Each structure stands twice: as C-alpha cells, then as structure tokens.
C-alpha cells in the first residue's frame, strides 16, 4: 500500500494548492451541508461535521462560509439538497475505480463521469462490479512535526488504530470504519494535531499499473475536478518513483 500512501500525500498537497485558489471550497461546503443535515449542526456531537470543518480550516475557508454551510444543512438558511452517490468503473489496464460524491442532479453527474471515463479508455461499471474488492476503513493523516515515529506508533495503537505507515511528512493511520472517530478523539486528548481524517475505500487486491500510470492519474484527476465528485479510489499498484514522476507532470 506504499503507492497508495504516496498518492494520498500527493493528493493532499494538490488540494492544498487548489484551496489557495478557492477551487476546493465547493466540495467542502457540500460536505459540511450534508453532514449538518444528517447529524445536526453541532461539531462537538457530530464527528462528520467536525471532520469537514477541519478540512475547511486547513483550506483557509472563511468562517462565514463555514457557518452558512452549516445553517443550510440544518435548514436555517435555504440551500440545495445534495444526495450522496457511489459509482463504480474501470480505468485502463483493468484498474477498478470507486467514485464517491454529492450531487443535486444525478443525471448530470453520471453523464459527466461516463464522458470522462470513456474519453480516457475507461468505462462505467454495474453496481457491485468492483465494490467487492474494496473495504471501508478510517484514514487519519498527521504531520510528523517533532513527534517521534515510535512515540506516534504507541499513541496510535493505544488510541485504537490498527496500523500506521509513514509517507513524506505524514504519519498515516488506519482504523476500522466504526472506530475512526474514537481514535481521533483519543489522539486529540493527547494534543496530537490532526491534519485530516476521513473514511476511505481501501483495495483488497491491486493491479500492476506502471505502464498505464499516466492515463490512470489523468482519469482520477479529471474525475476529481468535477464539483460533484468528492473522492476517487483505485486499486492500482504504481511504483512510488513512477507515481511521483507522473504527478509532477500534471
């Protein structure tokens, strides 16, 4: 999974750059609105909302934007009704894709996704065609800063994490999907600063994809450039140096 950790790190940095241009605000606002609609507007008792607010703060989103998004979710302000979706597909080389997002117009969304896939020699798949090969887990990203790796590992395992890996300047913790928020709370009690946390789809089996790396990264980037798409997950196995090279060409 080192390639996927490298990709997580690369995507996180890309989103930091996108945030400077306000490009990612639309996605985060949707996430905040839906989280507030589903579980209430208090981040102290709504961990999904707290996670979305952390993303907003890391993207330097103005406080007023965050508050308006919460109020739209709770019904205090009029807003668009976004619904979650999860589409499945294939990239070149048989790489499986899970496309996760929020939309107010499913016909528009599926048309845009299908167009991107087919233009990159991929295709949309039937429901269940690739989902069996992915597991829902929690992923917590922590900046290394001055935290020793052994100390961080001990705190992570004591907090309930199942695994910890390192990539660039980050520690990346894995948890069971239903334990992620408990682990986050345990780390916060230890005053560990969390960069990002979210539920992700982790592939059970991967496909060697060095030969198609450029096409695969292009297809993922184009999908994630859609306002409706929050995240794309794939079961590629691309060497770190190839992944770094392809990403630097974007």
Under a CB-based contact definition with an 8 Å cutoff, are residues 209 and 95 in contact? yes
Q: Six-digit token pair at 56?
A: 């907003």
Q: How far apart are CA 184 and CA 245, in angstroms?
A: 33
When pLDDT is averaged across residues 237-247 and rounded to a whole number, the result is 85
When pLDDT is averaged across residues 31-38 and rounded to a whole number, the result is 96
Domain total of the chain:
1
**Largest distance between two CA atoms of the chain:** 51
101 within domain boundaries: no
Outline where 104-160 has alpha helix (H).
106-119, 149-159
213 within domain boundaries: no
Backbone dihedral region of 109: left (phi > 0), alpha (psi from -120 to 50 degrees) or beta? Answer: alpha
Q: Tell me: pLDDT of 11 over 70.
A: yes
Q: Six-digit token pair at 26?
A: 């639309």
28 within domain boundaries: yes
Q: What percent of the chain has pLDDT over 90?
A: 78
Stretch (H or E) spanning 215: helix 213-224
Give the model's confidence band at 139: pLDDT under 50 very low, under 70 low, under 90 confident, else very high: very high
Under a CB-based contact definition with an 8 Å cutoff, are residues 25 and 59 in contact? yes
Q: Tell me: pLDDT of 114 over 90.
A: yes
22 within domain boundaries: yes
93 within domain boundaries: no
Q: Tell me: pLDDT of 23 over 80.
A: no
When pLDDT is averaged across residues 133-139 and rounded to a whole number, the result is 96
57 within domain boundaries: yes
Q: How far apart are CA 206 and CA 199, in angstroms?
A: 19
**Sheet order of strands, 170-176 included:** 163-167, 170-176, 134-143, 194-203
The boundaries of the domain holding residue 52 are: 2-74
pLDDT at 1: 46
Give the model's confidence band at 108: pLDDT under 50 very low, under 70 low, under 90 confident, else very high: very high
58 within domain boundaries: yes
Q: What is the pLDDT of residues 171-230, one digit of tens each?
A: 999 999 999 999 999 999 999 989 889 999 999 999 999 999 999 999 999 999 999 999
pLDDT at 12: 76
Stretch (H or E) spanning 154: helix 149-159
CATH number, domain of 55, equals 1.10.10.200
123 within domain boundaries: no
Higher pLDDT, residue 144 or 247: 144
Q: What is the mean pLDDT of the chain?
A: 91
């Amino acid at each position: 999974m080192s390639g996927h950790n490298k990709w997580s790190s690369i995507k996180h940095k890309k989103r930091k750059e996108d945030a400077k241009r306000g490009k990612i605000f639309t996605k985060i606002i949707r996430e905040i609105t839906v989280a507030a609609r589903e579980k209430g507007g208090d981040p102290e008792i709504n961990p999904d909302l707290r996670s979305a607010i952390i993303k907003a703060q890391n993207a330097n989103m103005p406080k007023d934007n965050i508050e308006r998004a919460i109020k739209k979710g709770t019904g205090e302000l009029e807003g668009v009704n976004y619904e979650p979706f999860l589409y499945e597909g294939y990239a070149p080389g048989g790489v499986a894709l899970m496309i996760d997002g929020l939309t107010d117009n499913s016909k528009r969304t599926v048309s845009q996704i299908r167009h991107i896939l087919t233009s990159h020699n991929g295709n949309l798949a039937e429901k269940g065609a690739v989902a069996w090969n992915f597991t829902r887990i929690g992923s917590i990203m922590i900046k290394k800063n001055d935290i020793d790796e052994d100390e961080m590992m001990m705190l992570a395992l004591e907090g309930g994490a199942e695994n910890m890996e390192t990539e660039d300047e980050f520690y990346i913790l894995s948890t069971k999907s239903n334990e992620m928020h408990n682990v986050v709370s345990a780390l916060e009690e230890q005053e560990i600063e969390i960069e990002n946390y979210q539920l992700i789809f982790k592939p059970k089996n991967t496909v060697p994809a060095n030969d198609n790396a450029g096409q695969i990264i292009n297809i993922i980037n184009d999908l994630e450039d859609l306002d409706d798409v929050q995240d794309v997950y794939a079961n590629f196995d691309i060497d770190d140096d190839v992944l770094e090279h392809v990403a630097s060409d974007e």
